[in-house]
Amino acid sequence: MLPLGVPISVLSDSYKATHFLQYPKAHKMVAYGEFRQGFNKDKADTRMVSYGIRYLVENYVAKPWTMEDVEMAEAFYSREGDLTLPAAPPQTPFSSATRDYPPPRPVCRAGYFPVKLEALPEGTCIHARVPVYQITATGEYSPLCTFLETLLTMIWYPTTVATLSRKARDVVEVSFGRTSDGGPTSRLVESRLVDFGFRGCTSVEQSIIGGCAHLLSFNSSDTMSAAFYAQFKLNGGRPVGQSIPATEHSVMTSWPTEAAAMTNMIDNFGTGIYACVMDSYDYCKALSEVLPSVAAHKVSRGGYLVLRPDSGDPTEAVLMALNAADKVFGSVRNSKGFRVIQGCGVIQGDGIDLTTMEKISVAIEEAGFAADNVSYGMGGGLLQKVNRDTMSFATKLCHIVYEDGRPADIMKQPQTDTGKFSLPGILAVKRVNGVPTVFPADTAEVAPHENLLRVVYDKGPLEGVWDDFDTVRARVAAEWMALPRSADNISSSLREKVRQQMALRGKVPAIAR
Amino acid sequence: MLPLGVPISVLSDSYKATHFLQYPKAHKMVAYGEFRQGFNKDKADTRMVSYGIRYLVENYVAKPWTMEDVEMAEAFYSREGDLTLPAAPPQTPFSSATRDYPPPRPVCRAGYFPVKLEALPEGTCIHARVPVYQITATGEYSPLCTFLETLLTMIWYPTTVATLSRKARDVVEVSFGRTSDGGPTSRLVESRLVDFGFRGCTSVEQSIIGGCAHLLSFNSSDTMSAAFYAQFKLNGGRPVGQSIPATEHSVMTSWPTEAAAMTNMIDNFGTGIYACVMDSYDYCKALSEVLPSVAAHKVSRGGYLVLRPDSGDPTEAVLMALNAADKVFGSVRNSKGFRVIQGCGVIQGDGIDLTTMEKISVAIEEAGFAADNVSYGMGGGLLQKVNRDTMSFATKLCHIVYEDGRPADIMKQPQTDTGKFSLPGILAVKRVNGVPTVFPADTAEVAPHENLLRVVYDKGPLEGVWDDFDTVRARVAAEWMALPRSADNISSSLREKVRQQMALRGKVPAIAR
């Protein structure tokens, strides 16, 4: 049984249940998935962190299906009034009743989904247009090549979050480089962006997938589902993420006064790092009256208090808190001339995205505060306000070997949107001057060991194909910084293939000009 | 074990693992969840379809936890280097080692999560500000009242999708009312918006939750995970959603010509309803040359062909297809004077949201075509391009009974954002002139049987609390149309309570003015 009790034979768009009848008879079919653009269509920086294939393969594709799955799917496909499938008993690519489709025909009984999957190693940093996976189906199973497209396309999500999170780390590193004694490699950097996105997710599963993607570039997360999953399912039990004790409004408002709530926090957590939300009633007053009233107690315990605004203009709210804290606790000037508040800082967790992070980091610098004083919490901005268009992900068929043995490269090239063209032929990815570059697989230019697309599934699970989470993290850290912000990553041999394809159909896509 | 192998004791934001130490000692605590605004902050229409509590309760809350869950959570909470919890062995609300918190203290061993949950019946149509659920925790478990907030807050998602989908149905009904013989109650209406959103989801679980929400107002869906789940898990096996056979680009491009691909479709599916995507190479040419070339074969089979543009300007693309189909297959004029094309129509599945749907429906009317000719497919726009801010969902503490027996109503009222104030006291919901209206629960105004908030979980699962999917659908259909677009839904007794609370703190929120 799969995680949510829905068999893999219905984990697809319903039109895909009919595609096995729509393809020409074939001995082999190949499809691949790619992001066609950089984050938010950024043309100057098209880098991305390829991530998330492991979750989909381990939890869905590499699970055996059972006769119960087949029967449940058959019950579903034969639903009364259904318009999808042409005959009763229904022809499905999974039923034993697939009668009218002449051999070779897909007849899948208990077992594993009969395709081969290649993918980039988790955490590989690439530019747009590099295939992140490739699906190969052969023989009688050829027409099932694209059935998993719906499921695998969901790699858009962890890759997009991993990229967003890594870009946020760039913002933090720049800010530390300019204003902190520790510079961009300060050990504080990796705790500066906390994942506040759990409740803004659509589902627990999303929180796990997106939350793990964030943990590739930071170690701070309030999304425990992800921290738990990353630690125990992806990293052999070794801890991956953490957070600090913090109040929410219900805590502040359940005490007779905010001062009483803060006093209790200091009593319980005052020797460590802890946070208090400050806007339950009157943010200004909380900073100017409540904070000073508990300051002596706070200082007596020796820990680090983080003030959390949660409404109003994010930049203003942060500056107000910094100034208030500076006044109450004092600050020292660091070697770069910026102030570091003593035992107190601010976390802004409301209204945070890449743009507001950048704006706040500039504003605190202009106000003379070091980056050390401020953390960010990103919720919906991190885990939910992204979509498949954010980096334009799509899966496309690229190659077919017809019944008569004739091979053909396939390329979608809509004139109505030349950005939506796809790459023709079986693909390989090889580093050229450090840049993962796309090649045709059928040339001598890429030796098998050079191909970054590795087989991760072959009609069943394979052993030893996944790196642990620490390894993936290290890969992201090393590769991201080494990659130019954009690059010409289509090899001339593939470019030539594109030209040939377009000559067949007329129009020249921009890539081939 | 829960669906994804993560115990409920870590299905929360990490700060919530520390809140049991942060609340004042209490005998009882109550919190509730509400949407503070209408869809996309629409002030003129604040209606919404409350939906999705069943999934969360059935799959997560009402599952027993085991000693294994407790041990796994303890291993997680004791992770090396963790900053969250104050002592080793860790104090967690779930561990047997919760030593230092004096009784009453939460000590949860194997069993069920020890709170009571009330919720609106699935599919209840309400306006913004009506509580959709309320959580009550008593005795030693009081400090666990808000632990499930993270999980339950995810009801924002199915409710937002259900609302968006129902608003889309409004658009379709208006269009049918103006241009179709069948009018707004035409049986075509409920197939007009197809869920194309599966691959644009972040996860399979999301596709199930969001896809089911769409199926409340339409019966068309390509998201088979949801159609399967709704049929077998929510509706006793009775079918809920369906779709039609349709090509994708890989089908069109795998044949030597698009005409060959279409011919094969007509051979296989030509007696029913089937769709072909038309922009693989040259959309204009596909309409002006390919379509006429297969027209005779298509007509000979007698079925209904749906043309699918997939790039370019959505409105233009639809009009081009309608004009081409009219030219090839002809049309008849209906009783309202609009043309109905013979055996052919269009589905626009690219770039669709509420706005483009409305734009297209106006444009086809202006061009003289009946609504019968056009369907819509909404993908990311339906299932992913929404977030917790779309209707401003939040869960807030509203009542506490302190250790000394003194009760207090609680109200968050940030001056920095008066839209973020919460409602004070235990709440009840009662229909007044058909409008679900919020009352204090501690008045005689709401008899128990009148309260729309029903107990759906009480320290364990309850029998017979869920309606089947057909019932929920019927509820949405009946209640949505009966509800005014906006309404004053705060009772005067609750308004008085708000006034008292705000008098305690100073500022008057808009609601009490």
| Parallel, antiparallel or unpaired: strands B435-440 and B125-127 | unpaired
> How far apart are the C-alpha atoms of A120 and A453, rounded to whole Å?
5
What pLDDT, in 10s, does the model give residues B23-73? 999 999 999 999 999 999 999 999 999 999 999 999 999 988 777 777 787
Nearest to A150 by CA among A44, A271, A8, A21: A8
- How big is the CA angle at B362 (ends B359 and B368), to the nearest 5 degrees? 140
For the segment A410-418, the average pLDDT, to the nearest whole number, is 82
User: Which residues have CB under 8 Å from B173's CB, separation 6+?
Assistant: B184, B189
The whole-number pLDDT of residue B506 equals: 57
- How big is the CA angle at B486 (ends B444 and B128), to the nearest 5 degrees? 65
Task: Count CB atoms within 10 A of the CB of residue A153.
Answer: 21
What pLDDT, in 10s, does the model give residues A297-354? 999 999 999 999 999 999 999 999 999 999 999 999 999 999 999 999 999 999 999 9
Are B457 and B135 spatial neighbours (Cβ–Cβ below 8 Å)? no
In A90-202, beta strands by DSSP E:
116-119, 125-127, 131-138, 193-195
What pLDDT, in 10s, does the model give residues B74-111? 788 877 555 555 443 344 555 544 434 333 334 444 57
pLDDT higher than 90, residue A101: no
Give the mutation candidate from B51, B194, B224, B385 for the A interface (greatest A CB count, under 10 A).
Answer: B224
> How far apart are the C-alpha atoms of A363 and A347, rounded to whole Å?
15
Neighbouring-strand partners of residue A273: A304
CATH 3.20.20.70 domain position(s) in chain B: 160-383
Tell me if residue A372 falls in helix, strand or coil.
helix
CATH 3.20.140.10 domain position(s) in chain B: 8-147+392-512
The whole-number pLDDT of residue B66 equals: 74
In A211-350, beta strands by DSSP E:
273-277, 304-308, 331-333, 339-341, 344-348
The whole-number pLDDT of residue A513 equals: 41
Asked whether the beta carbons of residue B265 and residue A22 sit closer than 8 angstroms, the reply is yes
Q: Which residue has the higher pLDDT, B430 or A98?
A: B430
- What would the two tokens of residue B304 be? 């209904």
Share of chain B above pLDDT 70, in %: 92
Q: Which of chain A's residues have a Cβ under 8 Å away from the Cβ of B387?
A: 200, 380, 384-385
Asked whether the beta carbons of residue B242 and residue A269 sit closer than 8 angstroms, the reply is no
The whole-number pLDDT of residue A87 equals: 41
Are A412 and A17 spatial neighbours (Cβ–Cβ below 8 Å)? no
Instruction: Produce one character per residue of B474-498: b if its CB has 16 or more CB atoms within 10 Å, e if not.
Output: ebbbebbeebeebbebbbebbeebb
Residue keyed to tokens 């030593």 = B99
pLDDT higher than 90, residue A92: no
Nearest to A132 by CA among A256, A1, A36, A248: A36
Nearest to B132 by CA among B501, B413, B391: B391
Q: Over the Cα atoms of chain B, what is R_g?
A: 27
What pLDDT, in 10s, does the model give residues A238-295? 999 989 999 999 999 999 999 999 999 999 999 999 999 999 999 999 999 999 999 9
Q: Per-residue DSSP letters for B445-480?
A: TS-GGG-S-EEEEESSB-TT----HHHHHHHHHHHH
What pLDDT, in 10s, does the model give residues A158-185? 999 999 999 999 999 999 999 999 999 9
Chain B: residue whose CA lies nearest to A92? B245
> How far apart are the C-alpha atoms of A160 and A95, rounded to whole Å?
36
Chain A: residue whose CA lies nearest to B239? A79
Polymer length of chain A: 513
Q: Which of chain B's residues have a Cβ under 8 Å away from the Cβ of A237?
A: 75
For the segment B285-311, the average pLDDT, to the nearest whole number, is 97
Chain A: residue whose CA lies nearest to B55? A203
The whole-number pLDDT of residue B108 equals: 47
- The sign of the CA dihedral B376, B377, B383, B388 is negative
State the pLDDT confidence band at A103, using cuts at 50, 70 and 90: very low
Predicted-complex ipTM score: 0.95
Question: Mean pLDDT over all residues of chain A?
Answer: 91
Q: At what angle do helices A204-214 and A156-179 cross, to 10 degrees?
A: 40
> How far apart are the C-alpha atoms of B193 and B357, rounded to whole Å?
10
Chain A: residue whose CA lies nearest to B142? A254
The arrangement of strands across the sheet holding A273-277 comes to A193-195, A374-378, A344-348, A304-308, A273-277
Q: Which of chain B's residues have a Cβ under 8 Å away from the Cβ of A251?
A: 19, 22-23
> How far apart are the C-alpha atoms of B203 and A209, rounded to whole Å?
8
Task: Count CB atoms within 10 A of the CB of residue A405.
Answer: 7
Domain B8-147+392-512 has CATH 3.20.140.10: yes
pLDDT higher than 50, residue A154: yes
B195 known member of a binding site: no
The DSSP secondary-structure symbol of B386 reads -
What pLDDT, in 10s, does the model give residues A490-510? 999 999 999 988 887 755 444
Nearest to B127 by CA among B250, B25, B228, B44: B44
pLDDT higher than 60, residue A110: no
> How far apart are the C-alpha atoms of A16 and A93, rounded to whole Å?
10
For the segment B11-22, the average pLDDT, to the nearest whole number, is 90
Asked whether the beta carbons of residue A224 and residue B76 sit closer than 8 angstroms, the reply is yes
The whole-number pLDDT of residue B104 equals: 35
Q: At what angle do helices A224-233 and A204-214 cross, to 10 degrees?
A: 70
| Parallel, antiparallel or unpaired: strands B26-35 and B393-402 | antiparallel
- How big is the CA angle at A214 (ends A155 and B3), to the nearest 5 degrees? 65
The DSSP secondary-structure symbol of B405 reads S
Give the mutation candidate from A250, A316, A409 for the B interface (greatest B CB count, under 10 A).
Answer: A250
Cross-chain CB nearest to B253 (options A19, A388, A412): A412
> How far apart are the C-alpha atoms of B290 and B283, rounded to whole Å?
10
Asked whether the beta carbons of residue A76 and residue B228 sit closer than 8 angstroms, the reply is yes
Ramachandran region, residue B188 (left: φ > 0; alpha: ψ -120 to 50; beta: rest): alpha
Residue keyed to tokens 């179709």 = B180
Structural element, H or E, at residue A29: strand A26-35
Give the mutation candidate from A281, A301, A392, A505 for the B interface (greatest B CB count, under 10 A).
Answer: A281
Share of chain A above pLDDT 90, in %: 79
> How far apart are the C-alpha atoms of B75 and B88, rounded to whole Å?
12
Q: Over the Cα atoms of chain A, what is R_g?
A: 27
> How far apart are the C-alpha atoms of A13 and B383, rounded to whole Å?
14
> How far apart are the C-alpha atoms of B189 and A467, rounded to whole Å?
50
The whole-number pLDDT of residue A391 equals: 98
Q: Which residue has the higher pLDDT, B506 or A296?
A: A296
The whole-number pLDDT of residue B80 equals: 58
What pLDDT, in 10s, does the model give residues B404-446? 999 999 988 888 777 778 999 999 999 999 999 999 998 899 9
Q: Which residue has the higher pLDDT, B182 or A85?
A: B182
The whole-number pLDDT of residue A141 equals: 85
- The sign of the CA dihedral B425, B427, B432, B435 is positive
CA distances A266 to A253, A287, B23, B152, B243, Å, are: 16, 16, 13, 29, 59
- What would the two tokens of residue B394 be? 């939040």
CA distances A138 to A107, A146, A424, B262, Å, are: 13, 12, 18, 24
Q: What is the least distance, in Å, from the CA of B378 to any CA of chain A?
A: 13
Question: Mean pLDDT over all residues of chain B?
Answer: 91
Nearest to B156 by CA among B182, B133, B190, B175: B133
> How far apart are the C-alpha atoms of A267 and B86, rounded to whole Å?
11
Asked whether the beta carbons of residue A264 and residue B232 sit closer than 8 angstroms, the reply is no
The whole-number pLDDT of residue A67 equals: 72
What pLDDT, in 10s, does the model give residues A116-142? 999 999 999 999 999 999 999 998 889
- What would the two tokens of residue B110 be? 């194997």
User: Which residues have CB under 8 Å from A264's CB, separation 6+?
Assistant: A255, B22, B24
What pLDDT, in 10s, does the model give residues A191-240? 999 999 999 999 999 999 999 999 999 999 999 999 999 999 999 999 99
| Cα B318 to the center of its chain, rounded Å | 28
Q: Which of chain A's residues have a Cβ under 8 Å away from the Cβ of B23?
A: 250-251, 254
Task: Count CB atoms within 10 A of the CB of residue A260.
Answer: 15
Lowest mean pLDDT of A140-149, A379-388, B282-291, name the range: A140-149
B160-383 in CATH: which number?
3.20.20.70
pLDDT higher than 90, residue B229: yes
The whole-number pLDDT of residue B178 equals: 98
Ramachandran region, residue B136 (left: φ > 0; alpha: ψ -120 to 50; beta: rest): beta
The whole-number pLDDT of residue A512 equals: 44
Asked whether the beta carbons of residue B13 and residue A151 sit closer than 8 angstroms, the reply is no
Q: Which of chain A's residues have a Cβ under 8 Å away from the Cβ of B397?
A: 249-250, 253-254
User: Which residues have CB under 8 Å from A449's CB, separation 6+?
Assistant: none
The whole-number pLDDT of residue B105 equals: 36
Chain B: residue whose CA lies nearest to A314? B416
Chain A: residue whose CA lies nearest to B223? A13
Nearest to B112 by CA among B57, B153, B75: B57
